[in-house]
Amino acid sequence: MADTDSKVLGVVLLVRHGDRQGFYQSPTTYTPSNTILTPLGNQQEFQLGTHLQSLYLNDSSPCRIEGISNTLVNYTQLRVRADAGGEAGVILNSAQSLLQGLFPANSNSSTVLANGTTITAPLAGYQYIPIESVEPQNDISLEGWTSCNTFNQATSEFYNSLAFHHMASDHANFINSLSPYLDGRPVTLENMWNIFDFMNVQSIHNAAFARALPPTYLEQARYLANWHEYNVFSDPRPDGIKNIAGRTILPSILAGFKSIVDPSDPVKFIYHAISYKPFISLFNITRATEAVPGLAGIVDYAAAVALEVRQPPSGQPVLRFKFKNGTDPELKRYPFFGSATDVPLQDFVNSVEPLGIDSLSEWCTLCNNQQDRGCGALNLAATSAVAANRPAIGSVGAGFLGAGVMLALALAMFGVLLFLGVLTVGPGRSKRKRSATASVASFSSRPC
């Protein structure tokens, strides 16, 4: 059976944002700064949306998604989620630009009023597609690494590793030579992502910088940044903490597959607008980097992964992995999961589902966090629940408790009196002592 015989039931997309202005993130915690999308970034995403439209919505395309509306958007068929954290509005705005290309303005995007007047949407029929803004403080799925203490610890351990020190030593001359081009930024291998990003942004938008930078410097910086980020965001163990960027997004991806193959669910097109980090982890988890080592690094602006759910003429649905790195002309098929052909969907789900982190409580435990991103409220709720579930003390229990306290008090008093010589053990020598003994005896022998 030829792979071309299968029909596309739906697709789950992962897309990096477009070109943006300068951006800084902490090398140790990846705490980000704000930045903004550029017109170039808008155009990159729009063009990608146009490409996806021709591939998945065009009636003449062999990859057309069966049953999907291709001119006027059917909102029930799309699910769009955008990371609204790290880079401020860059990712959300990128998603809006892509959707403009996917479903361009259409004069039929209109409504007829009760008086017979036809009203067309603004901008010649602009189609407003809902986007779920995923806030990191409310949802862990698209930024699993943020405020994750065990991830930060793993990053520090990487910086202290022999491999890291060897790489820093091997490239020390090049790294030190970068200082004149970095406007005072720290010139260290730890800071290599920020170094490369600054050089890349300046090379795109600053003509004087682009002329002054030696020809090979940007690619050398890219090589080191790729090595740096791959080792931060990928783990030798599929369930390792450094894969957390991929592990937290997995449940959302799998939910998309479930919707696509469910005949009662209209969703056919699932789009995740994200940063570069989940790509690195997912390429590692799916073993795509084993077959194509060039995937082990930072994807370009507007890079896209398409996970196509396909139905062969017989048998169960299969999954096809495609990737387009930035300005590549089209999505290309890549081997993954150790296979050069389509992978049975259920096999993929069975393999990766245990790796997914799909609850806040699991994330808080894994990341050793008891206060951020809802962990504090969760911890407080758990503590309150334990207190509320403690058995109440009834009247009989209260009696036993009171008697126990009184007995302990009596024994303490008894010991003090013995220590002071006021009380003796055995027959007393005086009425006073006998009276005291009788008093203590009668006190301690009261019925419970």
Which H or E run includes 12?
strand 7-16
- Could you report the per-residue pLDDT of 364-392, keeping only the tens digit for each? 999 999 999 999 888 787 666 555 555 55
Burial 22-45 (b: 16+ CB within 10 A, else e): ebbbebebbebeebebbeebbebb
Question: What are 145's two structure tokens?
Answer: 């690494």
DSSP string, 415-437: HHHHHHTS--SSS-SSHHHHHHH
- Could you report the per-residue pLDDT of 217-263, keeping only the tens digit for each? 999 999 999 999 999 999 999 999 999 999 999 999 999 999 999 99
The rounded Cα 274 to chain-centroid distance in angstroms is 9
Which H or E run includes 358?
none
What is the pTM (predicted TM-score) of this model? Answer: 0.84
Phi, psi of 321 (to 5 degrees): -105, 120
Answer whether 288's CB lies under 8 Å from 320's CB: no
Which H or E run includes 83?
strand 78-83
- Estimate the share of the chain in helix, then strand, then coil, as percent rounded to the nearest 5: 50, 15, 40
CA distances from 305 to 21, 215, 279, 403 (A): 24, 30, 8, 71
User: Considering the chain, what percentage of its residues have pLDDT values greater than 90?
Assistant: 81
Nearest of 270, 47, 251, 38 to residue 139 by alpha carbon? 251
Show me where the domains of the chain are located: 3-366, 410-448
Of the CATH numbers 3.40.50.2300, 3.40.50.300, 3.10.110.10, 3.40.50.1240, which one belongs to the domain with range 3-366? Answer: 3.40.50.1240
Give the pLDDT band of residue 436 (cuts 50, 70, 90): very low
Question: What are 396's two structure tokens?
Answer: 């009989």
Alpha helix positions (H), 17-126: 39-52, 90-102, 122-125
Q: How far apart are CA 161 and CA 202, in angstroms?
A: 31
